[in-house]
Chain A
Amino acid sequence: MRILVIEDDKDVASFIRSGLIQAGCNVDNAANGKDGLFLATTEKYDALIIDRMLPGVDGLTVIRTLRASANTTPVLILSALGEVDDRVKGLKAGGDDYLVKPFAFSELLARLEALVRRVKSSGDSPSTVLRAADLEMDLLRRDVRRGGQVIDLQPREFQLLEFLLRHAGQVVTRTMLLEGVWDYHFDPQTNVIDVHISRLRSKIDRGFDRQLLHTVRGVGYRLDT
């Protein structure tokens, strides 16, 4: 993946850069909105990471300018701790996802991968059947089978599994699940999501040799393909 990081804070920028390089990405850095906008318009990237508050041209203006010139590269907005959590404004400006500092790098990477994947798969015709290994979800009939065997799921469990299937093979974090499945954007203090996952796991993995739903320690979960 080729990623452009537009971030004026040197520490944060180098933290993201070294992490992304370790994850096998190509990383370019820009320390202000003007340089960032120039790079974003002249080079081809898989995703942009843009800080909201930038010297000169601010982050949201960069995004608006890109979108106005029909640039559809997915954008992950970073917002500083202490700023008003103005997620809606950021997404309205054309951002695809929103992350508040400080964040765990694993959270950033998970969201970035989800973004890039979403854009890549959006070209395909919308499929009505989602698959991972021998697990199959029919979105029209609203049923789930594993190895041909029907699995009975509650509505919310169905949504949870759908989200995991759409991100199959990727790590999804707890906050991504809370956002994607429940549409809430705060951190619940206790691990309520874990309990839902373990219930779902008991339904789709129990009695099968191969475990599909894995816990990625300290980060989140991954559904194997």
Chain B
Amino acid sequence: MRLRRLRRLFRTSVFRLTLAYAALFVISVGALSAIVYWSTLGYLERQNNAVIEAEINGLSEQYERSGLTGLADIINERVERDAERRSVYLLADAIGRPLAGNVPYWPTTLDTVTEEWVDFIRRDERGNETPVRGALLRVGPGFRLLVGRDIRELAAIRGVLRSAAMYGITLALGLALVGGLLMALSAQRRLAELNRTTRQIIAGDLNRRAPLTGSNDEHDELASNINAMLDQIENLLSGMRHVADSVAHDLRGPLTRLRNRLEMLAAGAEPSQEDLAECVRQLDQVLATFNALLRIARVESGAYRSAFKPVDLAPIVHDVRELYQATADDRQLRLIGEPEGAVEVFGDRELLAQALTNLLDNAVKYTPTGGTITIRLEQQGDTARLSVADTGPGVPEDDRGRVLQRFTRLDQARSQPGAGLGLALVNAVTMQHHGRLLLGDNQPGLIVTLELPASSPLRVAA
């Protein structure tokens, strides 16, 4: 279990990123240590060499001034003076016998050395070994002078620097790994929470929400965005559920009646043409409801948006009014209102015409004989306003939001044919045109107003 979690952790991008940073960190610390190491040691070595060089120069002058014996004397004198025994001197003849100095015999390792600078190990009388850095100088015929300095301290400093660098790098690596692991773990924990939530939602628990820590960091932002998305999805789903329920409820009636009729026809004698025509008529009604629903769904999906263009509402008002004029006359209703000038909106001519048709359909249906229906089209500023007012029973204020939903039919509408989809379509069309649909009191009656953004500025008559 723990192993699996760890293995999963290794696969996370956060962890891999941390690992990369740890490597970079270690390399930087290593490089820094190397610079300190080389520059410190280099400085000390250069100083050491300078001291040796100065001594060689001094001794070589001495030799030129007072010969081999003078040189031997000064060497012995210097050996006496050097209480710390840091300096190394040796004057030897051609076969390596020492003439003066503090090294008991000529180091055999130096016999083959030809260059000026040498490193060797000095073994003193008590057998202690010390590293020495020195320089060789040939003096006179066959004599050799070795001047050096004990570099024990230098070696010690080198050791200290090396181990400091090793500790530093190890510590940096450890810190980077532990820190990275902790960071990766915390990030992974937050993401795991989100993943758990989304998995639960996938499994069907739509009420789940991602937990917030209140820190307002990017994880919180992601979580709250996901939550907002889920809320939206839930809203849409419940809307769909409502529609599906309504469809089932509303269509069960006519379908049951149709079924009963068909059953009777099947049981009885030869069905008449009229019976069959009635069945077709009832089915047509069901199909009409479906068509209306699909049309609303298509409008809401924005499928018509791509074909939107500037449309003058005036001819639409004229046409639709004229289309309904005969029907209104038949029912002894006054249908008035003729547009005075062009009012342009950005939209779809068919959809706008159908919206107005639906409004007039309602008005004609619900206005009692002798009533008046008024269509008004006007532009105020950058708002186009199209309204249909009737003198029917109106819609109570509490129901005005409800009647815009699919399948809402108020009690007084039950006696009239219809599926309760007319205003839902008008609403969908208005929304797609970025407009507002307002229901008001015409005192008496209903006034429905479509407020749409006008696409051209109001032309003021000169």
Contact = CB atoms under 8 A, between A and B. Distances in A.
Interface in B324-375: 324, 326-327, 329-330, 350, 353-354, 357-358, 361, 364-365
Nearest to A84: B303
Contacts of A190: 327, 361, 364-365
Given A82-B294, A84-B298, A217-B277, A186 B330 contact: no
B326 A104 contact: no
Contact of A199 (B298, B326, B354): B326
B408 to A, nearest CB: 16
Given A102-B287, A192-B326, A195-B330, A185 B361 contact: no
17 contacts: A85-B298, A102-B287, A184-B354, A185-B350, A186-B350, A186-B354, A186-B357, A187-B288, A187-B291, A189-B357, A189-B358, A189-B417, A189-B418, A189-B422, A190-B327, A192-B324, A217-B277
A218 B330 contact: no
B168 to A, nearest CB: 69
B294 A81 contact: yes
Binding site of A, secondary structure by majority: helix, strand, loop or mixed?
Answer: loop
A196 B353 contact: no
Interface residues of B, number: 33
B319 interface: yes
A104 B288 CA distance: 12
Given A190-B365, A217-B277, A218-B280, A195 B350 contact: no
B327 A195 contact: yes
Nearest to B324: A192
Interface string A192-211: 10011001000000000000
Given A81-B290, A85-B298, A195-B327, A188 B357 contact: yes
Interface of A: 81-82, 84-85, 88, 102, 104, 156, 182, 184-190, 192, 195-196, 199, 217-218
A81 B361 contact: no
A188 B281 contact: no
Given A182-B319, A188-B361, A189-B418, 18 more contacts: A81-B290, A82-B294, A84-B304, A182-B323, A184-B354, A186-B295, A186-B353, A188-B323, A189-B288, A189-B357, A189-B358, A189-B361, A189-B422, A190-B361, A190-B364, A192-B327, A195-B327, A195-B330
A220 to B, nearest CB: 14
Contacts of A186: 295, 350, 353-354, 357
Interface of B: 277, 280-281, 284, 287-288, 290-291, 294-295, 298, 303-304, 307, 319, 322-324, 326-327, 329-330, 350, 353-354, 357-358, 361, 364-365, 417-418, 422
B291 to A, nearest CB: 7
Contacts of B287: 102
Contacts of B350: 184-186
A182 to B, nearest CB: 6
B358 to A, nearest CB: 7
Contacts of A192: 323-324, 326-327
A218 B281 contact: yes
3 cross-chain pairs, A with B, having the tightest CB-CB distances, nearest first: A195-B326, A84-B303, A186-B354
Contacts of B294: 81-82
